Amino acid sequence: MDYAATTPVAECVLQAMLPWLRDRPGNAASLTHGWGRQAQAMVEASRQDLAQLVGAEAREIIWTSGATEANNLAIKGVADAYANRGRQLISLRTEHKSVLDPLCQLEQAGFRVSWLVPDADGRLRMADLTAALSEQCTLVSVMLVNNETGVVQDIPAIAAAVHDSGALLHVDAAQALGKLPIDVQALDVDLMSFCAHKLYGPKGIGALYVRRRPHVRLTAQQHGGGHERGLRSGTLPTHQIAGFAAACTLAAQEMPAEALRITALRQRLWQGISSLPGILLNGHPDKRVAGILNVSVEGVDGEALFAALEMEGLGVSAGSACTAASAESSYVLRALGRSDELAYASVRFSLGRDSSQAEVDAAIGIFTAGVTRLRQLSPVWEAGATP
């Protein structure tokens, strides 16, 4: 139950990729022969497929190696291109590391980054945003769906405030693409990051939407060859692009029904595990993507909890980024006000197209048994130290 980390490549996606690995070897930039033109035609058709899924024009899509690169290109590219206008950037503490780290790097380079803290439900406070916006601000970066909690931000309202101040809005939509409808025009965003492997496509391919009207200027971060209109040099991975396009087509077909089905499964999962005391929902109860459920568990240690679940065959993700040597709890959950202990003892369940009611029921049983066993072992829970 870890579909938010990545998803298995769908069979139709694999079949779309294989010809470009076997007998269609052309470089999409080699237009002097048929193999190259064949590759270029597929790349452009694929660009159209992604653009159509998000309400963009094909020429507004730039291929990248993934959402991390797309986030880096958007943030560093805008910061540099508009540096003469201002050097303030704004983002949320709960963004993905691939947004936080480029911003921290820009901070070290002399840019001023205003870090906003969300409310206890994980949503951006509009008053905080409007207070932080200044004439010096060139970019605000806010993700559409949080990767840990599944919380969905009110992007149209954020876009209105950002554009009122004259800044641009970048949205990391890695967890949103194929999970909920996206229309870049309706959302009124200037830049949006995507990746394929969260929607049953291959790893290693992503894209950045860059608005053309009004035109968004961007400084390239990778040079050599001038591919992708000079914004992202590098030979295009045709098989991965073909796979990304097939994943977009699959998402367009399945998304409406899958969103309903997976929402019902998530609600069943929540009802099942929340019959235990001391299970706290992380993130807004309603403003959330279908497939992600994040809970904090009182009275148990995070490492022991994950071990107990894995032992019984339940693969879930930590709300925390922990390692054996340094157990760092989730910065996202701490930003929502969870204690270090609770942030550490947090579980992200994420459901996908192969999830079933039987699988959810089994997960409820494993979770309930594991938590109950660890609490019976715990002097803290016995004493009610974390009631």
CB-wise, 108 or 376, nearer to another protein?
376
Amino acid type, 167:
A
Print the binding letters for residues 79-108 with another protein: x by CB under 8 A, - otherwise.
Answer: ------------------------------
Asked whether position 369 contacts another protein by CB under 8 A, the answer is no
Select from 5, 196, 193, 162 the least CA-distant residue to 90.
Answer: 162
**Contact call for residue 313 and another protein (CB under 8 A):** yes
- Asked if 187 contacts 210 with a C-beta cutoff of 8 angstroms, the reply is no
Q: Which helix (H) or strand (E) holds 316?
A: none
Signed CA dihedral, 122, 51, 207, 110: sign only = negative
Query: How many residues lie near another protein (CB under 8 A)?
Result: 22
CB of 299 to another protein, least distance (A): 7
Rounded Cα gap, residues 305 and 381, in angstroms = 14
d(CA 137, CA 297): 39
What's the CA gap between 321 and 172, in Å, rounded? 20
Q: Of the two residues 5 and 307, which places its CB atom closer to another protein in the complex?
A: 307
Closer of 45 and 385 to another protein (Cβ): 385
Tell me which stretch binds another protein (CB under 8 A): 41-49, 160-168, 176-184, 306-314. Answer: 306-314
Residue with Cβ nearer another protein (35 or 331): 331
State which of residues 107, 119, 310, 354 lies at the interface with another protein (CB under 8 A).
Answer: 310
In terms of CB distance, is 354 or 382 closer to another protein?
382
Q: How far is the CB of 327 from another protein (least distance, A)?
A: 8
- Least gap, CB of 279 to another protein (angstroms): 17
Cα angle at 222 between 218 and 224, to 5 degrees?
115
State the nearest-atom distance from the C-beta of 385 to another protein, in Å. 8
The one among 221, 283, 301, 364 contacting another protein by CB under 8 A: 301
Sign of CA dihedral 253, 255, 257, 258: positive
- Shortest Cβ distance from residue 7 to another protein (Å)? 17
> Within a 10 A sphere around the Cβ of 349, how many other Cβ atoms?
26
Candidates 12, 104, 137, 322; catalytic one: 322
Q: Are 201 and 11 in contact (CB under 8 A)?
A: no
Q: Which amino acid is at 202?
A: P
Nearest to 265 by CA among 152, 356, 198, 150: 356
Q: Catalytic site residue 322?
A: yes
Least distance in Å: CB of 151 to another protein? Answer: 26
According to DSSP, the residues that pair with 64 across neighbouring strands are 206
Based on the shown chain and the rule CB under 8 A, indicate whether residue 378 belongs to the binding site for another protein.
yes
Q: What is the DSSP letter of 2?
A: B
Looking at beta carbons only, is 25 or 315 nearer to another protein?
315
Stretch that binds another protein, among 44-52, 135-143, 183-191, 371-379 (CB under 8 A): 371-379
Q: How far is the CB of 377 from another protein (least distance, A)?
A: 5
Residue 292 forms beta bridges with which residues? 350
Residue with Cβ nearer another protein (78 or 366): 366
Q: Is 303 in the site for another protein (CB under 8 A)?
A: yes
For residue 22, what are its two tokens? 């076997």
Site map for another protein, 323-342, x if CB under 8 A?
-xx---------------x-
SS3 354: coil
Query: Which H or E run includes 223?
Result: none
Pick one of 344, 346, 349, 351: the residue that binds another protein (CB under 8 A).
344
Residues 270-299 that bind another protein (CB under 8 A): 299
Beta strand ranges found along the chain (DSSP E): 61-64, 88-92, 112-116, 137-141, 168-172, 191-195, 206-210, 279-281, 292-297, 317-318, 346-350
Binding residues for another protein restricted to 233-272, rule: CB under 8 A: none
> How are beta strands 112-116 and 88-92 bridged, if at all?
parallel
Catalytic residues: 322
By CB under 8 A, name the binding residues for another protein: 299-304, 307, 310-311, 313, 315, 324-325, 341, 344, 376-382
